[in-house]
């Protein structure tokens, strides 16, 4: 499987006439960390379900670990681990029993299961909880266990569908530590979907999905760098009006709720600061991040649509 | 390697059974109630033959344990559909008909476990004869349990939620029990009921258990059919039921509705 872990060509899923995923092309190198980003309803889950053979594409084809998702579903399923948006655990069984069940379903022997469970529970900080029922675990621990469940058969590719959704900040951080350690120790390919864009900063490559189509892709660093070094946000009651006034002088601006965003090559000087601050009720500047990439891509899309 | 996934399902079913004490207690209490209360009451109204009728009831109440145990365990698949467990099953590298078969085997296994416990209890109470045929008993237990489990899988394949649980009890499990040779010999039933019993696969399971002469040979209550016919009907029904359930199940997984429910998009 040297080369690509995941390849998709024109992958499409339609519901009625409405495409949930529309002509997706992907090539994800083995061992890399890929992030599929987009708001709710963008088509992330549908993409993951097609790649993991759970739903059938309406058109197009994809290969995971070299196997076709259309014709070799069992081979695909044995080389992937999937952590669904909602837990795939039996809440009435204990931590160890859940891993044992998942291991058995994946054809592992008792010895393999015991050994890997120990490793994974250690790695995920659950070693002291092996005999507790899942129902008694916190949300963060359940999520960690669910990832361990998805890794019990040592898949080459791990799909994570919004792995931190519904978790508090410490639990989210813990999940990211676990995933980082997994990647470091096993060299697996990780396919992440999330709408918390800032979580994808460590990805090797990200793709922004909007209404089932990829609207931007690339490495997070360059994508962020191309926005400049600084984003200025001005809070105001009349964002549209302010945007119209600023645009001719300061270049493209973007309106997000009650804020106007400006891109600057550098931090604004004292004079400009004072002026901008006087325009709205509050003003601040900061470094751009992946959220900004998404906002500016959307803005460009809207412009293009209006021009057409 | 299909053995390990099947083993995994069996282990989980057994764990669940041992953990649910209430299920075990009712699995023992229900048949004993029938045997002791109904059996004795029936004999009292007839004036005689209490012991004999109770002996007749023994295969029937063992069948009852198998029926309730297997159908309820198989119906737990509906709970799996609603919870996370089905996600684990559908993502496993196992063809979906194997999952149906594994679930049926698991349900049959826990039913047999319950029947064996009941048998031990009945032996203590003196209802089990030393003249019983162990091979026929084994075949009867396995055949009946697997048939009831297949019936349960067939129902589970069509059930979306467990809300219709009471309906299933009233319209499936009880009729299957009453319209069989469990309480009366089939030949003694009126025509309509005899016909119903004849098309009820459970009848043949209980009949097979009668062949085993658990409570000792009793000329008054001979089995109604030959053991070979019993086995043929049980095997035929199970195969057909599992085949249909597999078709239904794989259609549900390959073509989405199940996956959508799993993705938490209920009602869309
Ligand atoms: N079974 C379905 N029937 C109709 N539309 C669906 C179905 N499943 C998903 N969709 C639609 O497809 C789009 C993408 O959904 P999804 O993949 O769940 O997005 P995401 O995971 O990015 O939030 C949404 O508009 C959703 O409403
Ligand atoms: Mg989703």
**CB atoms B91 and A82 under 8 Å:** yes
Cβ neighbourhood burial of B31 (10 Å; 0-12, 13-18, 19+): buried
Q: Tell me: the pLDDT tens digits for A122-141?
A: 999 999 999 999 999 999 99
Q: Tell me: the pLDDT tens digits for A217-256?
A: 999 999 999 988 889 898 888 888 888 888 888 888 888 8
Domain assignments of chain A as residue spans, ordered by start: 4-217, 228-287
Portion 42-71 of A in contact with B at CB < 8 A: 45, 49, 52, 54-56
**CB atoms A106 and B93 under 8 Å:** yes
pLDDT at position B166 is 73
pTM, 2 dp: 0.89
Question: DSSP string of B84-126?
Answer: THHHHHHHSSS-HHHHHHHHHHHHHHHHHHHHHHHHHHHHHTT
**Chain B residues interacting with chain A (CB cutoff of 8 angstroms):** 1, 4-5, 7-9, 11-12, 15-16, 19, 83-85, 87-95, 253-256, 259, 262-264
Domain assignments of chain B as residue spans, ordered by start: 3-261
- Indicate which ligand has the atom closest to the C-alpha of A210: 1
Sign of torsion over alpha carbons A127, A133, A135, A136:
negative
Query: Which of B10, B18, B20, B93 to mutate: most A Cβ within 10 Å?
Result: B93
pLDDT at position B257 is 56
Residue found by looking up tokens 């470091």 in the block? A184
Instruction: Please give the residue that has the higher pLDDT: either B229 or B49.
Output: B229
Chain-centroid distance, C-alpha A102: 24
Out of A205-214, A293-302, B199-208, least confident range = A293-302
Please give the DSSP secondary-structure letter assigned to residue B213.
T
Residue % of chain B over a pLDDT of 70 = 88
Q: Tell me: the pLDDT tens digits for B50-70?
A: 677 888 889 999 999 999 999
State whether residue A23 is helix, strand or coil: strand
Query: In the predicted model, is pLDDT for residue B258 greater than 70?
Result: no
Chain A partners within 8 Å of B11 (Cβ): 100-101, 104
Asked if residue A189 has its Cβ within 6 Å of ligand 1, the reply is no
**Domain A4-217, what fold?**
Rossmann fold (3.40.50)
Q: Which of B141, B154, B155 is nearest to B66 (CA)?
A: B141
Query: In the predicted model, is pLDDT for residue A23 greater than 70?
Result: yes
CA A157, CA A76: separation in Å to the nearest integer? 10
Cβ of A165 under 8 Å from any chain B Cβ?
A: no
| CB nearest to B264's CB, from A86, A97, A149 | A86
Residue % of chain A over a pLDDT of 70 = 99
CA A108, CA A116: separation in Å to the nearest integer? 10
The domain A228-287 is placed in CATH, from the list 2.30.30, 3.40.50, 1.10.3470, 3.30.70, at: 3.30.70
**CB atoms B83 and A108 under 8 Å:** no
For ligand 1, the distance from its centroid to the CA atom of residue A294, given in whole angstroms, is 20
Please, which residues have CB within 8 angstroms of residue A278's CB and are 6 or more apart in sequence? Answer: none
pLDDT at position B268 is 34
Please give the DSSP secondary-structure letter assigned to residue A103.
H
What is the ipTM for the molecules in this complex?
A: 0.85
What token pair was written down for B264? 């938490």
Query: In the predicted model, is pLDDT for residue A180 greater than 90?
Result: yes
Question: DSSP string of A185-246?
Answer: HH--EEEEEES-GGGGTT-SEEEEEETTEEEEEE-HHHHHHTT-SEEEEEE-S-HHHHHHHH
Cβ of A186 under 8 Å from any chain B Cβ?
A: no
Asked if residue B268 has its Cβ within 6 Å of ligand 1, the reply is yes
Q: Tell me: the pLDDT tens digits for B116-151?
A: 999 999 999 888 888 888 999 999 999 999 999 999
Q: Which band of pLDDT confidence, cut at 50, 70 and 90, is reported for residue B236?
A: very high
Contact A152, A99 (CB under 8 A): yes
> Measured from the CA of A49, which atom of ligand 1 is nearest?
17
For ligand 2, the distance from its centroid to the CA atom of residue A46, given in whole angstroms, is 7
For ligand 2, the distance from its centroid to the CA atom of residue A162, given in whole angstroms, is 7
CA B211, CA B227: separation in Å to the nearest integer? 7
Query: Taking CA A62 as the corner, what is the angle to CA A59 and CA A66, rounded to the nearest 5 degrees?
Result: 155
Q: Whose CA is nearest to atom 16 of ligand 1?
A: A43
CA A105, CA A143: separation in Å to the nearest integer? 20
CA A102, CA A124: separation in Å to the nearest integer? 17
pLDDT at position A268 is 79
- Averaged pLDDT score across all residues of chain A: 92
Q: Which band of pLDDT confidence, cut at 50, 70 and 90, is reported for residue B46?
A: low
Q: Tell me: the pLDDT tens digits for B80-91?
A: 887 888 889 989
Q: Dmax of chain B from CA atoms?
A: 62
Query: In the predicted model, is pLDDT for residue A100 greater than 90?
Result: yes
| CB nearest to A108's CB, from B4, B9, B255 | B4
């Amino acid at each position: 499987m040297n080369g690509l872990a995941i390849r998709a060509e024109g992958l499409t899923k339609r519901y009625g006439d409405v495409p949930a995923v529309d002509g997706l092309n992907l090539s994800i190198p083995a061992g890399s960390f890929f992030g599929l980003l987009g708001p709710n309803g963008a088509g992330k889950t549908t993409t993951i379900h097609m790649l993991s053979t759970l739903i059938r594409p309406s058109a197009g084809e994809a290969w995971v670990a070299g196997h076709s998702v259309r014709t070799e579903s069992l081979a695909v399923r044995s080389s992937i681990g999937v952590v669904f948006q909602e837990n795939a655990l039996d809440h009435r069984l204990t931590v160890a029993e859940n891993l044992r069940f998942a291991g058995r379903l994946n054809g592992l022997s008792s010895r393999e299961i015991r050994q890997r469970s120990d490793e994974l529970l250690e790695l995920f900080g659950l070693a002291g909880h092996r005999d507790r029922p899942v129902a008694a675990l916190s949300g963060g621990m359940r999520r960690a266990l669910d990832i361990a469940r998805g890794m019990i058969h040592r898949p080459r590719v791990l799909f994570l569908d919004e792995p931190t959704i519904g978790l508090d900040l410490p639990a989210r951080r813990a999940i990211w530590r676990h995933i980082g350690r997994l990647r470091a120790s096993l060299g697996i390919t990780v396919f992440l979907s999330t709408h918390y864009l800032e979580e994808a900063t460590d990805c090797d490559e990200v793709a922004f999905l909007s209404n089932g189509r990829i609207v931007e892709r690339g490495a997070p660093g360059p994508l962020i760098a191309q926005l400049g070094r600084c984003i200025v946000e001005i809070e105001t009651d009349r964002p549209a009006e302010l945007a119209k006034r600023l645009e001719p002088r300061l270049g493209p601006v973007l309106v997000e709720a009650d804020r106007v965003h400006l891109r600057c090559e550098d931090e604004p000087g004292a004079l400009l600061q004072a002026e901008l601050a006087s325009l709205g009720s509050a003003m601040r500047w900061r470094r751009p991040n992946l959220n900004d990439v998404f906002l500016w891509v959307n803005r460009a899309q809207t412009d293009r649509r209006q021009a057409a | 390697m299909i053995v390990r996934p099947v083993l995994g399902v069996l282990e989980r079913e057994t764990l669940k059974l041992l953990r649910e004490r209430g299920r075990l207690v009712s699995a023992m209490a229900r048949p004993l109630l029938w045997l002791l209360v109904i059996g004795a009451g029936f004999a009292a109204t007839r004036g005689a033959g209490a012991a004999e009728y109770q002996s007749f009831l023994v295969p029937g109440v063992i069948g009852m344990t198998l029926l309730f145990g297997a159908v309820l365990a198989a119906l737990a698949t509906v709970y799996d559909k609603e919870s996370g467990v089905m996600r684990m099953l559908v993502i496993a590298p196992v063809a979906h008909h194997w999952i149906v078969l594994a679930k049926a085997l698991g349900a049959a296994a826990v039913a047999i476990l319950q029947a064996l416990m009941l048998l031990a209890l009945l032996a203590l109470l003196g209802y089990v004869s030393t003249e019983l045929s162990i091979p026929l008993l084994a075949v009867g237990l396995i055949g009946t349990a697997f048939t009831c489990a297949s019936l349960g899988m067939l129902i589970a394949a069509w059930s979306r939620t467990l809300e219709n649980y009471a309906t299933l009890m009233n319209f499936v499990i009880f009729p299957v029990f009453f319209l069989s040779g469990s309480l009366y010999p089939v030949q003694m039933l009126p025509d309509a009921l005899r016909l119903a019993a004849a098309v009820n696969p459970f009848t043949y399971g209980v009949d097979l258990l009668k062949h085993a002469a658990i409570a000792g040979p009793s000329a008054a209550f001979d089995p109604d059919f030959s053991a070979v016919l019993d086995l043929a009907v049980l095997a035929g029904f199970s195969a057909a039921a599992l085949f249909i359930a597999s078709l239904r199940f794989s259609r549900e997984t390959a073509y989405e509705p199940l996956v959508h429910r799993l993705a938490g998009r209920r009602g869309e």
